[in-house]
Amino acid sequence: MPSSPTTVFDARAMDRTLRRMADEIIELNDGTDGLVLVGIQRRGVQLADRLAAMMKEREHVDVPRGALDITLYRDDLQTVGPRPVVGPTDIPWDIGAKHVVIVDDVLYTGRTIRAALDELADFGRPARIGLAVLVDRGGRELPIRADVVGKTLAVANGDRVDVLVKDLDGKDAVVVVRPGDGA
């Protein structure tokens, strides 16, 4: 029997979690010096913007942000075919010797992060690269882990975890969609 998507986070829960993540990132970095947030297109970029705004409230500094589109660094062009090239890569800062934190919405197989690490290496040599994700859903295919996690979810392989953000989707939420769900 088809069920409807399960809401994991509503807007308020998501806001609360992001605030905690912003604090944890600052803690991990011992402050905001040398910190650069790099969001992965598309929803990682929105989340990085959110985190930066929260950091500004708390620390009164503008943390530099960048955007990374990893489409051209994927390893599945042969097996899956070309994807729509979704968004621009924009790394306006010299990331050499910086503490770069990659921000993405969902961590799953780890292949996106592998691609992001490759792409970042073509822009410079950061002192350290960290990873912050809103949802860790397990199912890793590579030895990759996140430093800052909003929520860990145990979901079945066929399920989909969707992060919705207001700017793109009209509302903030995290939902789990099972095969056969109407959504």
Contact 36, 93 (CB under 8 A): yes
Instruction: Name the strand (E) or helix (H) holding 59.
Output: helix 43-59
Pick from 6, 49, 59, 87: which binds another protein (CB under 8 A)? 87
With binding defined as CB under 8 A, does residue 125 bind another protein?
no
Cα–Cα distance, 172 to 183 (Å, whole number): 16
Q: Considering only 14-22, 23-31, 100-108, 167-175, which stretch makes contact with another protein by CB under 8 A? A: 100-108
Does 168 contact another protein by CB under 8 A?
no
89 binds another protein (CB under 8 A): yes
Residue pair 137/166 in contact by the 8 Å Cβ criterion: no
Find where tokens 């996690």 sit. Answer: 149
Is residue 172 close enough to count as binding another protein by CB under 8 A?
A: no
Using CB under 8 A, count the residues that bind another protein: 31
Residues in the chain: 183
Q: What does the binding site for another protein look like in residue numbers (CB under 8 A)? A: 69, 71-74, 77-85, 87-90, 104-109, 111-112, 118-119, 122-123, 160
